Structure 1
Amino acid sequence: MDIQLESVFTLSYKKGESVRGFSYVSHELIYFYSGRGKIYINDIPYHYQPNSVLLTQSKDVKDYDADCYSEYTCIRFKSLKYIQKFRSGLYVLKDQSVYQLFKSIKREYAEKKISYHELCNMKTAEILVELLRNSLQCEKDSDIYKLIKEIDSTMLFQKRIADIAEELNYNPDYLRQKFKKIAGVSLKAYIMQQRIQNACKLLEQENYSCTEIAQLCGFSSSSQFSRIFKEKMGYTPKSYKL
């Protein structure tokens, strides 16, 4: 079989934990049991949630940001030809079939009964088949991932939800529902979250006043900026700057 299991392990991220710029020579399948956060694969953003699987291929560069405590199981494996059918990315699953396969592989790997390695290889291939069946839905969601990337890479994102929906040929309510399903938060909240993150970066540079930052990040006034910043971060922009 082209798939060769290397290791299986379960780990967790703490709330607010970040891991930057790492890659492996092996491929990885990562199943998230709990938590939410953001993952970049070669600078493309994805938002993980419970019952989602991340597939990364050898030499993919990854960054992780955990919004809350997150637990996951990782399967590392090698494959030369079979893996070429698949694309790196996040797969949000609709049922528990992949979870059961991860659970079975984890048990087999721990118990190491006769021919466990061959069985784990077959079950890993089965997981990949399940992801392939989900890939059509992931392609349909590509417009949302592109929108997320646009928001993340723009200092001043000013598009209205109605305008975004018109660009994507969506009903605004459908856009809101689809975005929240993928990102885990509403589109409005995500835009505000990104504005706060941009504001933090500017505050750390020390050469911008709070009034200038409010304008650059799309707040209507410095007072609105201060109020929302304190609500989200727990302290004022001036305190953060210090």
Structure 2
Amino acid sequence: MKIFITGGTTGIGWSLAKEYLEDDHIVGICGRDLSRIETGALEKFKNLKTYKVDVTNREELIAAVDEFSEGSLDLMIASAGRSVGSKTKEPDFVASRDVININVLGVLNTFEAALKNMLPNKKGHLAAVASVAGMVGLPGASSYSASKAAVLKLCESYSMDLKSFNIDVTCIAPGFVDTPLTQKNDHGMPWLMSSEKAAKKIRKALDRKKVLFVFPWQMKTVMFILERLPRWMYRAFMQMPIANYSK
């Protein structure tokens, strides 16, 4: 298969890339800083192609995906994303715009680039890494929750719209995964999982063409309950002292 992964230089994206490369698939990855790629990776994986691309740059991303695909692409995984890190009550609008640009517009750009190569062939698979944070509005994480909620609903709509073109769509909503992004968090991270373990679970979900995959099961259960609480009850619960802010 030909697989392209945005945000593929570190974290979940890189762990997924290795999953597929080890089975001899052709994998293209992109990121803003290629120096972050694991040392020796280019020598070890002959089917790996790298592109220095910012997903918010639509033209740059489309050009990279076109060059990699050469008219044929089996799987696109939109893994590029960012979070705010510190949870604060006062919104950081500069950081929030960056979060929205990367997490939402970056996914749109990624899917557009992929579909340019998939639609003519009437086959392919789109996937995006969202988060359980998109299932509710988390205190101190307004832009992150909003961005991931957008990705969840975008994928849900596309899963229906693109069915007639024989294109599958999967949205991945992980809990806490140990990546350079989550390592910046200054709060507790229950059920933290390694990116390698997460990648194996995600690959199984992609193989099964699941429309939505939420994991781990403990976090899925908690978020399922919180999502379905009356909103006044949810807000009262989340504003109790257990909510952890840096200021």
Tell me the TM-score normalized by structure 2: 0.27
RCO higher in structure (CA 8 A, sep ≥6): 2
